[in-house]
């Protein structure tokens, strides 16, 4: 059961990394540091969007419009941190 706990923590860590990469990349694209006309940048961007949209979609439907400010990644990161806390506090159940 300990391996199940470690796998769940690893999945949460990977999702955390993908969200941070997506947020940083969106800032770099908006500030024109990265160019979407470059094939590698476009592929990474569309890949991250395809991976994260199933997570972001339901939350975007719940959140009210914020006038161009997308708080969805923040809500997801808070949810991941809450899940990590819950898993760590209940780690004894996995042993």
- Predicted pLDDT at 63: 93
Give tens-digit pLDDT for 26-63: 999 999 999 999 999 999 999 999 999 999 999 999 99
Q: Where are the domains of the chain?
A: 2-94
Interval 7-16: pLDDT, tens: 999 999 999 9
25: tokens are 């990349």
**pLDDT greater than 80 at residue 95:** no
Tokens 């990265």, residue? 34
Q: How far apart are the first and last CA of the chain?
A: 6
Contacts of 72 (CB under 8 A, 6+ apart): 56, 59, 60, 63
């Amino acid at each position: 059961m300990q391996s199940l706990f470690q796998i769940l923590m690893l999945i949460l860590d990977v999702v955390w990394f993908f969200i941070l990469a997506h947020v940083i990349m969106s800032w770099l694209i908006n500030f024109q540091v990265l160019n979407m006309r470059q094939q590698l940048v476009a592929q990474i961007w569309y890949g991250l969007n395809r991976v994260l949209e199933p997570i972001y979609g339901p939350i975007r439907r719940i959140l009210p419009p914020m006038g161009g400010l997308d708080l969805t990644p923040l809500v997801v990161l808070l949810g991941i941190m809450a899940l990590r806390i819950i898993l760590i506090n209940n780690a004894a159940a996995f042993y």
